[in-house]
C-alpha cells in the first residue's frame, strides 16, 4: 500500500512539474507623466527678493503656524511636490553663521538614506547672490536644498520635497524636470 501511494504521489508530482510554463514577474509600472511646456513668470511681492518661477507652479505663503513673513511654498500640484522657501533677515554675523550652519546640518540630515551629497557654490556677484546648492542623491526625502544670501542683510533657504515615498527610480524624471526650474529660479534671483 505504501509503495502504491508513493508511486501515485511521484506520478502526480511529475505531472504537475511538466510543461513549459515559463513564468517571470512583470516589472513594476509607473504612471505616464506628461510634462508641461517650460514657461516662467516673475514673483513680485513685499518680500525683499524677486525671481522667475514656472507658470505651472503655484506660489503661496507658508501656512505653518510657526511660519514667518516671506516664508513661501512653491507648489507643483501636478507632481505632488513643494519647494519650501524660508526667508530670514540677518541681524548679526553670529546669526548669519548659525543660519548657514543650520542649512548645512539640515541638508546632511538626509545622509541616512542618501547615496551621495554634492555641494555646489552659488556665486553671482553682480546680483550680490551667494550660497550653496546641495544635490542629494538616493532615496532621501529631499533631493535639492540650497541657501542664498547677500552676506549682509538677507538669507533664504530652499528645500524641495515630494509628497510620496522617496524612491529615486520613480521620481527621477520629475526631479530632473523640476531641478531645471529650481536652477532658473536661483539664476534669476535678485535682492531688492
pLDDT band at 22 (very low <50, low <70, confident <90, very high): low
pLDDT band at 23 (very low <50, low <70, confident <90, very high): low
Instruction: Give me the pLDDT at residue 77, please.
Output: 93
37-72 pLDDT per residue, tens: 999 999 999 999 999 999 999 999 999 999 999 999
Instruction: Give me the pLDDT at residue 166, please.
Output: 67
**Average pLDDT of every residue of the chain:** 88
CATH architecture of structural domain 47-191: 3-Layer(aba) Sandwich (3.40)
Domain ranges within the chain, ordered by starting residue: 47-191
94-151 pLDDT per residue, tens: 999 999 999 988 888 766 677 778 899 999 999 999 999 998 887 777 889 999 999 8
For residues 51 and 189, the answer to whether their CB atoms sit within 8 Å is: yes
Instruction: Give me the pLDDT at residue 111, please.
Output: 67
Instruction: Give me the pLDDT at residue 155, please.
Output: 97
pLDDT band at 2 (very low <50, low <70, confident <90, very high): confident
CB atoms within 10 A of CB 186: 18
The 8-class DSSP code of residue 167 comes to -
Instruction: Give percent above pLDDT 90 in the chain.
Output: 61
Q: Which of 23, 125, 144 is nearest to 82 (CA)?
A: 144
For residues 122 and 185, the answer to whether their CB atoms sit within 8 Å is: no
Q: Which of 118, 119, 124 is nearest to 185 (CA)?
A: 124
Amino acid at each position: 500500500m505504501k509503495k502504491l501511494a508513493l508511486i501515485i504521489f511521484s506520478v502526480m508530482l511529475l505531472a504537475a512539474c511538466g510543461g513549459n510554463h515559463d513564468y517571470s514577474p512583470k516589472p513594476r509600472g509607473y504612471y505616464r507623466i506628461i510634462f508641461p511646456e517650460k514657461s516662467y513668470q516673475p514673483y513680485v511681492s513685499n518680500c525683499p527678493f524677486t525671481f522667475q518661477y514656472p507658470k505651472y507652479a503655484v506660489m503661496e505663503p507658508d501656512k505653518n503656524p510657526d511660519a514667518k513673513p516671506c516664508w513661501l511654498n512653491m507648489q507643483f500640484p501636478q507632481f505632488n511636490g513643494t519647494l519650501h522657501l524660508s526667508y530670514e533677515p540677518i541681524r548679526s554675523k553670529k546669526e548669519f553663521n548659525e543660519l548657514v550652519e543650520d542649512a548645512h546640518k539640515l541638508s546632511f540630515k538626509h545622509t541616512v538614506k542618501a547615496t551621495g551629497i554634492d555641494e555646489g557654490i552659488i556665486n553671482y556677484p553682480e546680483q550680490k547672490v551667494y550660497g550653496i546648492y546641495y544635490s542629494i542623491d538616493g532615496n532621501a526625502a529631499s533631493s535639492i536644498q540650497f541657501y542664498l544670501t547677500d552676506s549682509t542683510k538677507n538669507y533664504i533657504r530652499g528645500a524641495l520635497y515630494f509628497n510620496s515615498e522617496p524612491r529615486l527610480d520613480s521620481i527621477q524624471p520629475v526631479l530632473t524636470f523640476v531641478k531645471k526650474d529650481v536652477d532658473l529660479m536661483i539664476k534669476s534671483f535678485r535682492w531688492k
